[in-house]
Amino acid sequence: MNSKTNPDNFFEDFRLGQEIRHATPRTVTVGDVALYNALFGGRFAVQSSDAFAQATGYPRAPIDDLLVFHIVFGKTVPDISLNAVANLGYADCRFLKAVYPGDTLNAVSEVIGLRENSNRKSGIVYVRSRGFNQRGEAVLDYARWVMVRKRDESAPSPGDTVPDLPKAVDASLLGAACPPIKADAYDLTLSGSQHRFGDYQVGEKIDHVDGMTVEEAEHMIATRLYQNTAKVHFNQFAQSKDRFGKRLIYGGHVISLARALSFNGLGNAFHVAAINGGRHVAPLFAGLTVFAWSEVLAKADIPGRSDVGALRLRTVATKDRPCPDFPYKSGDDYEPEVILDLDYWVLMVK
């Protein structure tokens, strides 16, 4: 017991409506961009090229949406999920403002739900977390819920509220982080895909073909880049005594890999506008190879915008299983190789 170290919040320490300002503010730079590119191999032209971004309407290449997500998420870990048994889900995640090199991000969370589990050993904490830039402008807003242990099983539950969260972000709320795109200056040869918004059909499935093997050094470098301190990713000495015997790879690493792989088939899906929901179906470990496929769940126009449209995608990632047959569920259960089931909105030029 040391009073100077992180106090490690347990389930009974949370209060409904509690606001938590998180440490540590973080300036995002072209150094972070280079490292993120090198870890995932992203090729979306808007994020890759200042010249392309400027031609299409951005002041310069914006920071990858998921890098913003991971940094904001990382800030919440010491306060919210250091004692998490499991990261249960995300919902209602919207990207609200583009982030550029030099911007400084910080994060604030509000406890929006608390429900004790029937075994009274743990409970579910629902938080809404928001990322802000150095001008106090919100850049990201999302809900997530985690199962958190109780310190003392006999402690009373701090609440019994489950928030009402949307199944999907409404299309009318998309696009805040995307400036008006000059569609005629958006060069489909440079972007690497000839397929515009109109070329995708609801129900269409796309195998992203390529596979990417993950090394221990890679996922740890990535996760530290986000200042995410969750212990299970870094400490082989402790993990060797755990049920898997291995370091667990941060679930966000799989999201970023799947997003990078999805370039092959979705090359003009240049912006993740919202995440409707996400489930880390099974853990990933170093040495395994990640594949992905996507299905177009819906298409939507964004009110008042003719430059871009929104595709609602389900992207499924697998481990050590190529996806030409679009592996997903077998009955109610996921196929054993499925590790991620992500439901999100991307923007694409019309």
Q: How far is the CB of 80 from a second copy (least distance, A)?
A: 14
Retrieve residue 34's tokens.
């280079």
Amino acid at 91: A
Q: Which stretch binds a second copy (CB under 8 A): 157-165, 175-183, 201-209, 342-350?
A: 201-209
Q: How far is the CB of 119 from a second copy (least distance, A)?
A: 27
Q: What proportions of the chain, in percent to the nearest 5, are helix, strand and coil?
A: 25, 35, 45
Residue 29 touching a second copy (CB under 8 A): yes
Q: How far is the CB of 141 from a second copy (least distance, A)?
A: 20
Q: Which stretch binds a second copy (CB under 8 A): 120-128, 168-176, 231-239, 342-350?
A: 231-239
Q: What DSSP element (H or E) covers 160?
A: strand 160-161
Single out the residue of 213, 245, 306, 329 in contact with a second copy (rule: CB under 8 A).
213
Kindly give the pairing relationship between strand 289-301 and strand 104-116.
Answer: unpaired
Which lies closer to a second copy via its Cβ, residue 175 or residue 265? 265
36-55 positions binding a second copy, by CB under 8 A: 37-45, 48-52
Q: What DSSP element (H or E) covers 79?
A: helix 65-80
The separation between CA 269 and the C-alpha centre of its own chain, rounded to angstroms, equals: 16
61-100 positions binding a second copy, by CB under 8 A: 61, 78
Single out the residue of 218, 251, 327, 348 in contact with a second copy (rule: CB under 8 A).
218
Integer Cα distance of 161 and 116 in angstroms? 9
Q: Are 166 and 253 in contact (CB under 8 A)?
A: no
Residue 322 touching a second copy (CB under 8 A): yes
Residue 266 touching a second copy (CB under 8 A): yes
Residue 6 touching a second copy (CB under 8 A): yes
Q: Which residues does residue 127 pair with via DSSP β-bridges, in sequence order?
A: 111, 144
User: Within 13 A of 39's CA, how many CA atoms are on the CB side?
Assistant: 29
Retrieve residue 159's tokens.
């609440």
Q: In this structure, how many other beta carbons lie within 10 angstroms of the beta carbon of residue 49? A: 16
Q: How far is the CB of 158 from a second copy (least distance, A)?
A: 21
Closest CA to 284 of 248, 252, 320, 255: 248
Show the binding pattern over residues 100-139: x = contacts a second copy (CB under 8 A), - = does not: --x-x-x---------------------------x-----
Residue 235 touching a second copy (CB under 8 A): yes
139-158 positions binding a second copy, by CB under 8 A: none
Single out the residue of 267, 277, 278, 309 in contact with a second copy (rule: CB under 8 A).
267
